[in-house]
Amino acid sequence: MRQKPSLKARALRFLSNREHSARELASKLEPYAEDGDDIEALIEWLKESGYLSEERFAESYARRRGARYGSRQVLHELQNHRLPESVILEISETLKETELQRAAAVWEKRFGKSPETFQEKAKQIRFLQQRGFPSDVIRKVIKGDFDEFELY
């Protein structure tokens, strides 16, 4: 008969697939916890051992989500993971540096051409707003107000 994996083994398996925040990992482990299991102590051990890092999680998350969403959306989602403010501020700076490039890439993939009518323009603006891009970046993307080399 096979023995069930320990809570530590489950945590390491989750972390081997992708980075997790402490809150997210704790909620994933909760259904498997038995009497006497201390999830908080395990999370602390994982942090001290270098297996769990809020900074790595934030960078990984911002890279994944930033390819499709603006900084406002990504930062809001990171705040829901209850990360330290210093980590969120660092990611915020990184995202803002690449905001125009990411917005242009998202716009290009979805639309590919400048709007010809007011309705098309409104549709493109709404799309980028819903993705969490700031209005000044949206204006530049819609107008095509950037040099091609600025994007890379």
DSSP string for residues in 28-95? HHGGG--TT--HHHHHHHHHHHTS--HHHHHHHHHHHHHTTS-HHHHHHHHHHTT--HHHHHHHHHHH
Record the pTM: 0.80
Contact at 8 Å (CB) between 25 and 52?
yes
Same domain, 34 and 13: yes
Same domain, 75 and 45: no
Same domain, 71 and 31: no
**Taking Cα atoms as reference points, which of 127, 58, 59, 135 lies closest to residue 100?**
135
CATH of the domain at 26: 1.10.10
Same domain, 42 and 4: yes
- How far is Cα of residue 7 from the mean position of the Cα atoms in its chain? 26
- pLDDT by residue, tens only, the chain of 152 residues: 778 888 999 999 999 999 999 999 999 999 998 887 899 999 999 999 999 999 999 999 999 999 999 999 999 999 999 999 999 999 999 999 999 999 999 999 999 888 999 999 999 999 999 999 999 999 999 988 766 545 44
Residue 7 domain boundaries:
1-52
Same domain, 2 and 48: yes
